[in-house]
Homo-oligomer: A and B are copies of this chain.
Amino acid sequence: MGGFFGAALKKDCVIDLFYGTDYNSHLGTKRGGMATYNETDGFIRSIHSLENTYFRTKFEGVLPRFRGNYGIGVISDNDSQPIVVNTHLGRFGIVTVAKIQNIKELEKEMLDQHVHFAETSSGDTNPTELVATLINEGEDFADGIRQAQLKIKGSCSMILLTPDGLIAARDKLGRTPIVIGKKDDGYAVTSETTAFPNLDYKPVRDLGPGEIVKITPDGITVLKEPLKEMQICSFLWVYYGFPTSTYEGINVEDARNKSGELMGKRDTTAIDCACGIPDSGVGMALGYANGKGVPYQRCVSKYTPTWPRSFTPSNQEMRDLVAKMKLIPNRELLNGKRVVFCDDSIVRGTQLKDNVRLFYEYGAKEVHIRIACPPLIYGCPFIGFTSSKSDMELLTRRIIAELEGDPDKNLEAYARTGSQEYNKLVEKMAEHFGLSSLKFSTIEDLVESIGMPKCKICTHCFDGSSHF
C-alpha cells in the first residue's frame, strides 16, 4: 500500500518529517523518500531502497542535508518517490499512495501529447511521475489534481510540496486515509495517526473523499470540497493499520478487539488458550480470549529483535524463509494444549500451513484457527493488497477451481456466509491446513466491529460489491 507524511511548520520541519514518515514504515517495504523546501535552500530530495534496512537507518545519515519549513516523506511499496518536477505551475514535489489500474492507457494518452517520462530501472512508468504529468495538464494545482483524481481508476491519495505550502488530496472515494494534525508550530498530514502522539500533534480531522486542501503553518484552506461517496478500505482495520492508528474516528486495535470478542463470545469450541499469530492476529486474539473467557498465551513469538517486519521481502522464496525464521514456537506452552490461533486473513495460505505444522510438531493437541475477516474471494483492484498477478493465487479460488472445475464459477454463492458453498469452502480450507477447526469472521461482524455504515466501507475482496 504505502504511507506518507507531510509537515508545514513555522520552524524547520526535518525532525518531524523524519520520524513522522518512519511511523508509516509498516505500510511499505521497497523505498523511502523525503523532500523539503524553503526559500533559501530550495527543494532537497533523497530516496533510498528499504529492502535491506530501515527508513531511519537509511535516512539518519543524510538528515543534515535537509532543511525546510515544508516537507513530505513517503514509504513506498513500489515506485521511487518523492518526484520533484519543474512545470508551468512552478516547481513542486509529490508523494502518492496509489494503485493506478489504467496506468497503460493514461501513459499512452500522455505520450501521444509528446509528454515524456523518465525511465525507472524496472522499465515501467513511475506512477507518481504519471500523476505529476496529469496534474501538469491543469490550469492550476486544484484543477490539475481534480482532473487526475477523475482520470485515475483504482485509488490515489497524494501530498504536494510547493513553495507556498503543502497540498493534500485524498482519493476520490476515500479508499486510503489522510488525517490532519496540529501543534503549536503548524500542521501535519499523515496516512497513519500513529505518527502524531510522539511528535505532539493532536488529530484535527480526516480529509473527506476527493477533498483537496492547502496547508500552511497558519491554517488549512479547502481548495476543492469533498465528494459525496466513500469506499474506505476495510482491510485498514483488518491488516494494514498499526494498532494505535485511528481513521474516521475508529481505532484499529479497538476494532480488532471487538471483532475478536464478538467471535469469542459465540464460539463453543472447547479450548485451553488463545494466541495471536504476530503481529496482525494479536489484537483479535486478545479480544477473543476475553470474549471466550480463556487465557491469552504467547505459544508462538516473533523474533522481534531482528525480524520486526511482517511483510518484508518481495520475492517469494525469501518471503518463505523469513516466514519460517521469524516465528518461534514455545514448546513448553504448546505441549498438550488445545489452542485457538487468530490471524488477520488467508491469502495464499503458505505461511499459515507451515505455522500449523510447526504447532503440531511442538506438541499442540488441537490447532484451531479464527480469521478476522471473511474468506478472500475477489482480488483487490483498488489498493493492491493481494499483490498477486492473478486471482488464482488466492487459496479460495484454487479450492473453488477444484470443487467446480472453474475458479470463477458461482463466486457469489461462495461469498455468502452460511451458504452450502461457503461451508464447503471453509471445510476444504480446514482440511488443507489440517486444522481441528477453522472459522472466519462474517461481513456483518466485521462491519459491526468497525462501526461505520456498510455503504461507506469497501468489502469488495469478500463480496465483490465495490464499484470503481
Within 8 A of B (CB), among A244-289: 244, 246, 251, 253-254, 257, 279, 282-283, 286, 289
Does A83 belong to the interface (CB within 8 Å)? yes
Does A55 belong to the interface (CB within 8 Å)? yes
Of all chain B residues, the one with the shortest Cβ separation from A65 is B121
- Seen from chain A, the residues whose Cβ lies within 8 Å of a Cβ on chain B are 19, 22-23, 25-26, 42-45, 52-57, 83-88, 91, 93, 107, 111-119, 121, 123, 125, 129, 132-133, 136-137, 194, 197-198, 242-244, 246, 251, 253-254, 257, 279, 282-283, 286, 289-290, 295-298, 301, 303-306, 308-309, 324-325, 328-333, 358, 362
CA distance in complex: A244, B107 (Å): 47
Give 9 A-B contacts (CB < 8 Å), ordered by A residue: A43-B119, A43-B123, A45-B119, A88-B111, A197-B329, A197-B358, A243-B301, A243-B330, A286-B298
Given A43-B123, A116-B133, A286-B296, check contact A253 B330 (CB 8 Å). Answer: yes
Q: Report B-chain residues with C-beta under 8 Å of the C-beta of A132.
A: 116
Count of chain copies: 4
Partner of A254, one of B22, B136, B332: B332
Partner of A121, one of B45, B246, B290, B328: B45
In the complex the two chains form, is B251's CB within 8 Å of A330's CB? yes
In the complex the two chains form, is B301's CB within 8 Å of A242's CB? yes
Which are the 10 A-B pairs with shortest beta-carbon distances?
Answer: A84-B119, A251-B332, A308-B308, A26-B305, A86-B117, A290-B295, A42-B123, A244-B328, A25-B305, A87-B116
Given A301-B242, A306-B56, check contact A137 B114 (CB 8 Å). Answer: yes
